[in-house]
Structure 1
Amino acid sequence: MPLILVGLNHRTAPVEVRERLGVADSKLPETTSALRSIEGVDGAAVLSTCNRVEAIVSTRDEDSIEAIVDWLAETASTQRAELEKHLYILRHGDVVRHLFRVASGLDSMIVGEPQIGGQVRKAFITALDLGTLDSVLTQLYEQTMRVAKRVRTDTGIGEHAVSVPYAAIELAKKIFGDLRGLQVLLLGAGDMGELTAEHLHQQEVKQVFVANRSFERAQELARRFDGAAVQFDRLDDYLAGCDIVIASTAAPHYVVEPQHVERALDARKRRNLFLIDLAVPRNIHPAVGRIDGAYLYNVDDLQQVADANLTQRQQKATAAEQIVTREVDAFRKRLVAQDAVPTILELQQRLEQIRAAELEKCLRNVGPMTAAQRAAIEMFSTQMINKILHYPILQLKYMSDEPQERESLRRTIRKIFGLR
């Protein structure tokens, strides 16, 4: 049964195309069911993230590809010719390899990023709950998750931060260990500062305080992190109470001076204070980094950590690709063998019928014989049939990935041996 994948991603389509085709979580069941309802589609799942949208199907033949592309164009409310410029169409073993790589983080914008594995799982779980997965896609889903887990376990590809916000989290953990129970102060509303605060919130910090020149903007951001908005002019009070400070304002001057940090450390009884300066120009005076108990990192420091980790990840990606290659080959062989089972069983039954009928004729003509003699003739005829079947069965078990080639071989063997 052919496997087909039609999709686009961050390499083939700009964001304005991806967002037109993107599927909200609330719409995923409806969209998956619509894909399954296309003529010729036996199983269906839809993977939609900010970086990719992919329709994954098992079909009776490849004729359904045209209908799937039409459906995607209709879903995106765009002309088919315009959408086709950005689409890729994968078939059979290439679908297996692609999904194994995607779930393992090898096809991501940031190699090894961990979120994609959960997103792939959600896509298939949704389809499973809807009943739109057939046996082939169910096996593909289960094996994809096993391969993704093996890649991460065996290579450690996702262990080190490769983005500035994640690098900040990694450094914070080196200073404090467990981040739960810590308090965070976000100064300003820069995009990278927001993202870092969001990651810290996901680490279950105790509280996130947001200070901004616009108190309304501070309140808006605080709601995102289940935090609290504070007045910017109360900076000293919150520096003393917080363990991590993220500075990301548009101010053209320093907003955190050494005397601010000295007072905060005295109030904290010299407990460590971790300061992340993501602003350009910088918001935190560099002299703060020379104060005992204050750990200051600016955006360049964090980028160096991320770049070093990215080099490590790229090295681990080579080992991960080798795992994927072996797993794809094993899964392909399993699917081909399963596909061949009905023909192999019919072939064995047909030749066994011929053997049994011809043996009876032979035994009637030979006349009386001992049990040992009869057993020897039985053994001889059985072994002969097994020898005759050996190469046809091998060919069926190790057929090509291409469904048309497999079907051609099946028909040839069935014709030669008189199978219906």
Structure 2
Amino acid sequence: MELLALGASHKTADLAVRERLALLDGQIEPFLHELVALEGVTEAVALSTCNRTELYVVGESPEVAIQALPADVPLYSARNCDAARHLYRVVSGLDSMVVGEAEIQGQVKRAYERALAARTTGPLTNQLFRAALATGKRVRTETAISEGHASVATVAVDAARALIGELSQRHVVIVGAGETSEQVARAFHAHGVSTMFVANRHRDRAIALASRFGGESGGFDQLPDELERADVVVSSTASPHAIVGPEELDAVRGGRPLLIIDLAVPRDIDPACASVDGVTLLDMDALQRAVRGHLNVRKGEAVHAEAIVEEEIQTFAGWLGRLDVMPTLAALRGRGDAVVNELLAANAGRWESLSAKDEARVEALARAVVKRLLHEPTERVRTLDDEHRHARLKLLRELFGLEEDAASEAGEAAEVRRLAG
């Protein structure tokens, strides 16, 4: 069984590519079931955020998971400990657009919980994600990498302030009422914004969010009127299609200045809106360019965080290594038991005066001899370091003729039942 991480992020793919890979909430569970239905895949977890879509798959041939993704997109991949290291860095905020941002921890946790609910996890992914989440928590506890609570939302508000100046007297429209929209509303409120409108498809969620920050709320049917009087629009919904186009924007703006920040992937705002007179449009790629300088802000804390990740990876590597050891040890013990059984069977008719009790003692003695003989090599195999484990195990299998036995035992020991949804 191998672990494979496969995906694309803001570091490797532009927004147009990330849109094609993005998985919305209703698509994730069917997609996970599609993955584990592939021959060679037994476990799967999918992580999809505005800045990355990644698959973590386990199986005898996990690379077949690439069949479920578009064929012409640039993907990165990593196996086993390298895959785990990548996830640990993601959870810790080290791979984020805004280094140290805390939201990714919750996003990874929810991705894992969705896979649990879909019943597509197994022993390896369970261990991986629990350990990764614990590592992320440790990084944020033992370092100051998340100090200041910087996030995509706060970067968006900082960008608005840089482009249009003082925000307190501006009318802000927030489209969407999810976690990101809540962070945006909080950041604007911290800058003194008091005229805020929250538009959402589900009115009750918009009301709840607006009331927390002294704003008003409404459904998408009120959006045209709000676009007409807005100074800043920030959109972050889970819509699969654009919800604001250039024609409707041009009709209500009349060339007056408007800043639109689109935090959604797929995009909520048609890119053609950037051509509307008076409109400035920032999407996630534009924000990434705006925060490149932030990458150096917490360099010292990032070094400390990387050290924690490496320490935790060694623990995971040890656990992963023991998965390799166990089939070989099982095969070795099985070979010893087989030798005893063969000898007892071959001599079964030669114990003319042996009582049943004495026959049992002979068998116990034979098994004890085998057990003692194998005790020392068993203990030494258990304590092999990562560097020498594979070569030593291979030699042990060759010396005892365990190649076929080990392969068979490995299949049984590592097998994870493919679970139906």
Instruction: Mark yes or no: TM-score above 0.5.
Output: yes
Are the equivalent residues in 2 in contact too, given 1:162–1:309 (CA < 8 A)? no
Larger RCO (alpha carbons 8 Å, 6+ apart): 2
- TM-score of the aligned structures, taking structure 2 as reference length: 0.58
Give 1:220 shift: 5.0
Are the equivalent residues in 2 in contact too, given 1:347–1:417 (CA < 8 A)? no
Aligned match for 2:183, one of 199, 206, 217: 199
Q: Which residue of 1 aligns with 2:27?
A: 27
Equivalent position SS for 2:137: helix
Q: Which residue of 2 aligns with 1:68?
A: 65
- TM-score of the aligned structures, taking structure 1 as reference length: 0.58
Q: Which amino acid aligns with 2:328?
A: T
Q: Which residue of 2 aligns with 1:95?
A: 83
Give 1:186 shift: 5.5
Matched, 1:415 2:401: yes
Q: Which residue of 1 aligns with 2:52?
A: 52
Matched, 1:386 2:372: no
- Distance, in Å, in 1 between the alignment partners of 2:125 and 2:45 is 8
Q: Which residue of 2 aligns with 1:8?
A: 8
Are the equivalent residues in 2 in contact too, given 1:160–1:309 (CA < 8 A)? no
Give 1:314 shift: 1.8
Q: Which residue of 2 aligns with 1:187?
A: 170
Q: Which amino acid aligns with 1:199?
A: Q
Q: Which amino acid aligns with 1:188?
A: H
- Distance, in Å, in 2 between the alignment partners of 1:340 and 1:196 is 45
Q: Which residue of 2 aligns with 1:126?
A: 114
Q: Give CA-to-partner distance per residue, 1:264-311, whole Å, 9 cap, x none.
A: xxxxxxxxxxxxxxxxxxxxxxxxxxxxxxxxxxxxxxxxxx999865
Aligned match for 1:338, one of 315, 319, 323: 323
Equivalent position SS for 1:128: helix
Q: Which residue of 1 aligns with 2:40?
A: 40
Give 1:26 shift: 2.0
Give 1:167 shift: 8.3
Are the equivalent residues in 2 in contact too, given 1:348–1:389 (CA < 8 A)? no
Are the equivalent residues in 1 in contact too, given 2:102–2:149 (CA < 8 A)? no
- Distance, in Å, in 2 between the alignment partners of 1:407 and 1:385 is 14
Question: 5+ unaligned residues in a row in structure 2: which ranges?
Answer: 159-166, 201-205, 218-230, 234-254, 258-290, 352-365, 407-421
- Distance, in Å, in 2 between the alignment partners of 1:411 and 1:58 is 25
Are the equivalent residues in 2 in contact too, given 1:45–1:55 (CA < 8 A)? yes
Matched, 1:328 2:313: yes
- Distance, in Å, in 2 between the alignment partners of 1:42 and 1:113 is 32
- Distance, in Å, in 2 between the alignment partners of 1:401 and 1:160 is 44
Equivalent position SS for 2:105: helix
Q: Which residue of 1 aligns with 2:132?
A: 144
Decide whether aligned partners of structure 1 residues 312 and 387 sit closer, same or farther in structure 2, where only a CA change above 3 A counts.
same
Are the equivalent residues in 2 in contact too, given 1:208–1:228 (CA < 8 A)? no
Give 1:204 shift: 12
- Distance, in Å, in 2 between the alignment partners of 1:89 and 1:54 is 9
Give 1:145 shift: 0.9
Give 1:401 shift: 9.0
| Structure with larger Rg | 1
Equivalent position SS for 1:327: helix
Q: Give CA-to-partner distance per residue, 1:298-335, whole Å, 9 cap, x none.
A: xxxxxxxx999865522111011011111111111112
Decide whether aligned partners of structure 1 residues 119 and 391 sit closer, same or farther in structure 2, where only a CA change above 3 A counts.
same
Deviates more, 1:334-343 or 1:49-58: 334-343
- Distance, in Å, in 2 between the alignment partners of 1:202 and 1:228 is 14
Q: Which residue of 2 aligns with 1:77?
A: none
Are the equivalent residues in 2 in contact too, given 1:355–1:382 (CA < 8 A)? no
Decide whether aligned partners of structure 1 residues 105 and 409 sit closer, same or farther in structure 2, where only a CA change above 3 A counts.
farther
Percent identity reads 30
Are the equivalent residues in 2 in contact too, given 1:332–1:401 (CA < 8 A)? no
Matched, 1:111 2:94: no
Q: Which residue of 1 aligns with 2:245?
A: none
- Distance, in Å, in 1 between the alignment partners of 2:15 and 2:42 is 31
Are the equivalent residues in 2 in contact too, given 1:36–1:42 (CA < 8 A)? yes
Equivalent position SS for 1:6: strand
Q: Which amino acid aligns with 2:79?
A: R
- Distance, in Å, in 1 between the alignment partners of 2:374 and 2:180 is 69
Q: Which amino acid aligns with 1:316?
A: E
Equivalent position SS for 2:58: strand
- Distance, in Å, in 2 between the alignment partners of 1:326 and 1:334 is 13
Give 1:166 shift: 3.6
Aligned match for 2:146, one of 158, 165, 172: 158
Q: Give CA-to-partner distance per residue, 1:364-393, whole Å, 9 cap, x none.
A: 9xxxxxxxxxxxx99998655434545555
Equivalent position SS for 2:99: coil
Give 1:28 shift: 1.4
Work out the number of aligned pairs and report it.
Answer: 301
- Distance, in Å, in 1 between the alignment partners of 2:373 and 2:198 is 84
Q: How does 1:248-267 map to 2 (within 5 A)?
A: none
- Distance, in Å, in 2 between the alignment partners of 1:417 and 1:308 is 54
Equivalent position SS for 1:110: coil
- Distance, in Å, in 2 between the alignment partners of 1:39 and 1:381 is 40
- Distance, in Å, in 1 between the alignment partners of 2:405 and 2:292 is 62
Equivalent position SS for 1:57: strand
Matched, 1:210 2:207: no
CA RMSD for the aligned pairs?
4.8
- Distance, in Å, in 2 between the alignment partners of 1:10 and 1:99 is 15
